[in-house]
Amino acid sequence: MTNKTTPSRRKFLKTALAGAGAAAAVPLSVKADEYVTPSMTVPGKTFTPYGMPSGHEEVKRLLRPPGISPGTGGSLSPLESLEGMITPSGLHFERHHNGVPDIDPKTHKFLLHGLVNTPLEFSMDALMRYPRVSRMHFVECGGNSGANAGSPTPPQLTAGGIHGLVSCSEWTGVQLGLLLDEAGVKPEGKWILAESADAASLSRSVPLAEAREQGILALYQNGERLRPEQGYPLRLLMPGWEGNLNVKWLHRIKVTPGPTMTKDETSKYTQSQKDGKAKQFNFIQPVKSVITRPSGMMTMNGPGYYEISGIAWSGHGKIAKVEISMDGGATWTNAEMPGPVLPKCLSRFRLPWEWDGKPVLLQSRSTDEQGNVQPTRAAWKAPVSVVQFYQYNAIQTWQIGADNTVKNFYV
């Protein structure tokens, strides 16, 4: 290790140590000198108004090549580089249908109308005065992991590259039910339409009962105001429900007699079956898990100790258990769930493992508290059309080779 201690610093240390204890002073001073690291020898940087990750870290969202419309598409959370259960706000996945709008909260309005007794409009200042709730929930795009559903051969990507359209935050906001009650929903009101103020005017229908009981108008993400990419200044959060209907940049909710049948609940985000029919209103994100360490594109360090670790989640509630298989699903062992395990939230699982260096087909299979179990890829594919990729939740297999490679694999 190189010693970059300056001469004047060295002199200062010697003097100081000599004062501390005469007998051991000389040999000790040499030792201390060698072990003093550069960071200990100069004052550190001063305070900053907003902290950033260490310059030594290069953890980034994965971007896809921009298409004809640069703001249409997504960027993925680098799941393989993240730990615990919360996604840093700046690494939350993005899925936009026409870019990230720049919205001034001073002029932003939220309109609540339709089948209500009193149509209401709210400034952001008004919304900020309501009582708030804080909840930890994942948001997952309905198209997450679609690469594994559609590609006939396993795409060689990282865990985030395949499954990174899921992220998890603490969301704080106003319960939608409060505002619906303030406006007074008429008996004919059975659904809502939520609409964005983005350049897609993205809109989705949600059944009224669930919107009232579960809906949150999110203002904060991980303790600070929402990030622009996550809907600043206002986002509808339907915990555990398909990402697309968690409408960002929310500016309007209309209470309606039925679903509005928008483009994103007919043309898109519906599940085509083999017989040509399409299942619609697949609101709840199914039970799922992925091992993030070790995972695709990583290189093993040869035989020895590893901690297997990953994330599991379900839109139906809490994760009940996660099992690990080393042999492509023939035998299973329970992973440890150190907790916290919260409903509709990413949960971390871990399993200590001594690898003998032989080839392994590593899998995780999660079960939620409702008894839903992750299917195999073959079982997931069996009833659906070849073009169907939404809400793909099949078991992920990582093929670990004797050559230390970790690859995406279909059993």
Partner 1 sequence: MFKTLAFLLAAATPHFGATADPALIKAWDVSIPPDGTGLPAGHGSVSEGLAVYTQKCVMCHGVNGVGKPADQLTGGVGSLASDAPVKTVSSFWPYAPTLFDYIRRAMPVTSPHSLSDHETYAVTAYILSIDGIVKKNAVMDAKSLPKVKMPNRDGFIDAYGATKR
The residue within the footprint of ligand HEC, chosen from 61, 92, 95, 97 (CB under 6 A), is 97
- The CA-atom distances, in angstroms, between 46 and each of 6, 54, 364 are 21, 14, 45
Q: How far apart are CA 285 and CA 274, in angstroms?
A: 21
The residue within the footprint of ligand HEC, chosen from 10, 36, 71, 72 (CB under 6 A), is 72
- Name which of residues 185 to 214 contact ligand HEC (CB under 6 A): 200
The residue within the footprint of partner 1, chosen from 17, 91, 100, 127 (CB under 8 A), is 127
Query: Minimum Å distance from CB 74 to partner 1?
Result: 16
- Name which of residues 25 to 84 contact partner 1 (CB under 8 A): 67-69, 72
Q: How far apart are CA 250 and CA 176, in angstroms?
A: 12
The two tokens of residue 302 are 């040869």
Give residue for tokens 């904060």. 220
x/- site string to partner 1, residues 370 to 399, per CB under 8 A? ---------------xxx------------
Burial 390-401 (b: 16+ CB within 10 A, else e): bbbbbbbbbbbe
Question: Residues binding ligand HEC: what is the number (CB under 6 A)?
Answer: 8
Q: Does 200 bind partner 1 (CB under 8 A)?
A: yes
The residue within the footprint of ligand HEC, chosen from 69, 273, 331, 370 (CB under 6 A), is 69
Q: Does 22 bind ligand HEC (CB under 6 A)?
A: no
- Name which of residues 23 to 62 contact ligand HEC (CB under 6 A): none
Residue 166 burial (CB count, 10 A): 25
Query: Minimum Å distance from CB 264 to ligand HEC?
Result: 8
The two tokens of residue 345 are 């939230």
x/- site string to ligand HEC, residues 346 to 385, per CB under 6 A? ----------------------------------------
Q: How far apart are CA 393 and CA 146, in angstroms?
A: 9
Torsion of CA 355, 356, 361, 363, to 10 degrees: -20
Query: Minimum Å distance from CB 206 to ligand HEC?
Result: 19
Q: Which is nearer to ligand HEC, 269 or 313 (CB)?
A: 269
Q: Which is nearer to partner 1, 15 or 273 (CB)?
A: 273
Helix (H, G, I), strand (E, B) or coil at 25: helix
If we measure between CA atoms, which residue out of 42, 64, 135 comes closest to residue 345? 135
Query: Minimum Å distance from CB 180 to partner 1?
Result: 11
CB 161 within 8 A of CB 125: no
CB 394 within 8 A of CB 374: yes
Cis peptide bond prior to 152, omega within 30° of 0: no
Question: Long-range contacts: 228-233, Cβ < 8 Å, 24+?
Answer: 228/100, 228/101, 228/102, 228/103, 229/92, 229/94, 229/96, 229/100, 230/89, 230/92, 230/169, 231/196, 232/103, 232/105, 233/103, 233/105, 233/108, 233/124
Q: Does 209 bind partner 1 (CB under 8 A)?
A: yes
The residue within the footprint of partner 1, chosen from 79, 80, 100, 122 (CB under 8 A), is 122
Q: Which is nearer to partner 1, 283 or 349 (CB)?
A: 283
Give the interface segment with ligand HEC, choosing from 67-75, 175-183, 224-232, 353-361 (CB under 6 A). 67-75
- Name which of residues 244 to 273 contact partner 1 (CB under 8 A): 251-252, 254, 256, 258-263, 266-267, 270-273
Q: Which residues on adjacent β-strands are paired with residue 22?
A: none
The residue within the footprint of ligand HEC, chosen from 51, 68, 129, 403 (CB under 6 A), is 68
The two tokens of residue 237 are 């959060």
If we measure between CA atoms, which residue out of 64, 179, 86 comes closest to residue 127? 179
- Name which of residues 262 to 291 contact ligand HEC (CB under 6 A): 263, 267-268
How remote is the C-alpha of 43 from its chain's centroid? 37
Residue 62 burial (CB count, 10 A): 16
60 interacts with, out of ligand HEC, partner 1, none, CB within 5 to 8 A per kind: none
- The CA-atom distances, in angstroms, between 347 and each of 101, 246, 343, 364 are 32, 21, 9, 13
Query: Minimum Å distance from CB 199 to ligand HEC?
Result: 10
Query: Minimum Å distance from CB 156 to partner 1?
Result: 26
Q: Which residues on adjacent β-strands are paired with residue 322?
A: 366
Q: Which residues contact partner 1 by CB under 8 A? A: 67-69, 72, 97-98, 109, 111-113, 118-123, 126-127, 129-131, 178-179, 182-183, 190-191, 193, 195, 199-203, 207, 209-210, 251-252, 254, 256, 258-263, 266-267, 270-283, 385-387
Q: Which residues contact ligand HEC by CB under 6 A? A: 68-69, 72, 97, 200, 263, 267-268
